[in-house]
Structure 1
Amino acid sequence: MNLNHKRRLTTTVLAAAMVMAAPLAGASTAGAASPVYTAAADCSYPAQKLDLTNWKVTLPTGSSSSPTEIKQPSLATFSVNPWFMVNSACTGVQFRAAVNGVTTSGSGYPRSELREMTSNGTSNASWSATSGTHTMVFREAFNSLPDVKSHLVGAQIHDADDDVTVFRLEGTSLYITKGDDTHYKLVTSDYKLNTVYEGKFVVSGGKIKVYYNGVLQTTITHTASGNYFKAGAYTQANCTNSSPCSSSNYGQVSIYKLAVTHS
């Protein structure tokens, strides 16, 4: 068994426990009181765990080149097991995309992924990298990688044409990408599945600053418009390069915090 891409969770309890018990990598715990997390009373829908007012979700279900897409107001009370749901511990949202899932017309890979919206989720977000400041902060863990091609994207900035920069896990190596350069910045070569980390994108003045656990990793020049944030599980494998070709072979990400601001 290849440990780089066959460490599946039998439940989501482990990831939840790590959120409640483990500090972020590099964080000091000296003299600090143990954190206390309280689960929400009602954990039926992802929108009860994350503020999804200005998001829509694309799922790996539906018909050929036409995946299921859920927008507001339906998103506020939507959940589907196992693709998009609150985890069993009620601490975060599980995103799963199997290699045999339905893909969009512009990609050969399946996704269970949020796309940034505006106006209470009714319009696509589209902002300029040279005007204002645009920030996304997220806490997430990669839970499972597809077999053979063990690649998975957990968060990204996309412009009008293509992805600009993403957090991409390949086996145990976590990268920040730049355009087509998928290995632009190695964050760690020893990422362990279910490890919660905090990522942040800050876009201002034609520059993208990318942080990992509060530490600046790289600054990328980007001046295009038509930008928007995305977060979830964007599996970088399909039935042509990963087997078995079934719903049991998937990428999965759990998100515990997601916040976007524009100023």
Structure 2
Amino acid sequence: MNKKKNISKYFPKKLIINKIWSIQLLLGLFLLISNTSCQKDNSDTETPQNETISTDENDNTDQNNPVSDNFKLPEIDLNHWKVTLPIGNPTEVKPPAILAYATNETLKPFMYNDSIDGSLVFYTYPSSSTANSSYSRTELREQMVPGSNNTNWTFAQGGRMKGTLAMNEITKDNDGKYHRAIIMQIHGRLTDAQRDLIGEDDNNAPPILKIYWNQGKVRVKTKILKDQNVSETEILKTDAWTDDEGHTFKEEVGFEKFTLEVKVSEGRMEIILNENETVVYDDINIQKWGIFENYFKAGNYLITRDEGSNAKVKYYNLEVFH
């Protein structure tokens, strides 16, 4: 039979009690230190008295993208616009390809979003130009039928274009003056029958309206007849028309955002700056212009070929109505 071992023989009773007391003392100290540490950590993460933590269930802030609420896009429907670029012969991008401008490798250097202020930036510099110009552009051309230039409008049919825009950057010439840029246009167009009547090889007609950013101000130029008694055939020719003296609005827009509105109806054209200043054309020249078809243009048409020159025009919204 096995006999129970007497542990007191090896561990005297007094020694066992001392050991137990020491373990209890150490355990107590550990718990005290842990509790103090937890209280300190909790106090460090308490909400300061003047700070509020949102508990709104409708708070949709993307924690992975804290600037997402500040992301803005321009208010421009490009379904009825094509764009001409200062590259190629020159290069044009029509709907529907223009709708993917943000990922289009050809367009991205010249037409892109500034998502901070919600604008569409048009960048250009002297390079390729269209057949009837010596200057380059990154400019939209209205297409009433997406992808086609063949459907346009007359003054009798009427139209309205309104945009909010700003000159963002533009270089200076050797005299220290800013270069000029055309920011809006109404361009004339010959019908096929008119083109054939005067023996032209394309449908180009003069622009009845050019609106410039000129030294921080908005300047308007239109066309007038050299001879108001011109025949119905000769009136179709570009050399029947010349530039008027122009009109400069009093308000200086500088590099700030401004609004332009162009309204046309039979025998009348009106341009409005910031819903404040207006210039109206309703004379014999506008009345006789009714023989042409037209289309709107908007963007950045840089009027210089100086080496190193360039410009950026921002459009925040752009609307056309017929």
Q: How high is the TM-score relative to the length of structure 1? A: 0.72
**Residues 89-146 of structure 1, C-alpha deviation per residue, up to 9 Å, x if partnerless?**
16010001112x21111100000000000223434442111x2221001111012223
Q: How high is the TM-score relative to the length of structure 2? A: 0.59
1:87 aligns with 2:131: no
The aligned residue for residue 299 of structure 2 is 232
- Measured on the aligned residues, the alpha-carbon RMSD in Å equals 2.2
SS of residue paired to 2:98 = helix
The aligned residue for residue 26 of structure 1 is none
1:140 aligns with 2:140: no
The offset of 1:163, in angstroms, is 1.5
SS of residue paired to 2:320 = strand
Count of equivalent residues: 207
Q: After superposition, where does 1:167-206 map in structure 2 within 5 Å?
A: 167-179=211-223, 180-181=242-243, 184-188=246-250, 190-193=252-255, 195-206=256-267
1:166–1:178: 8 Å Cα contact kept in structure 2?
yes
The aligned residue for residue 51 of structure 1 is 77
Match of 2:97 among 57, 70, 74: 74
How far apart, CA to CA, are the structure 1 residues paired with 2:267 and 2:100? 37
Unaligned runs of 5+ in 2: 1-68, 190-204, 224-241
**Residues 146-180 of structure 1, C-alpha deviation per residue, up to 9 Å, x if partnerless?**
32161111111111212211221222332111125
Unaligned runs of 5+ in 1: 1-36
The offset of 1:181, in angstroms, is 3.8
CA separation of 1:190/1:212 partners in 2, compared to 1, >3 Å: closer, same or farther? Answer: closer
CA separation of 1:216/1:189 partners in 2, compared to 1, >3 Å: closer, same or farther? Answer: closer
Larger Rg: 2
CA separation of 1:259/1:124 partners in 2, compared to 1, >3 Å: closer, same or farther? Answer: farther
The aligned residue for residue 5 of structure 1 is none
Q: What is the aligned-residue identity percentage?
A: 25
* Runs of 4 or more above 6 Å deviation: none
Higher helix share: 2
1:218 aligns with 2:279: yes
How far apart, CA to CA, are the structure 2 residues paired with 1:183 and 1:237? 20
How far apart, CA to CA, are the structure 2 residues paired with 1:97 and 1:105? 17
The aligned residue for residue 209 of structure 1 is 270
Structure with higher RCO (Cα < 8 A, 6+ apart) = 1
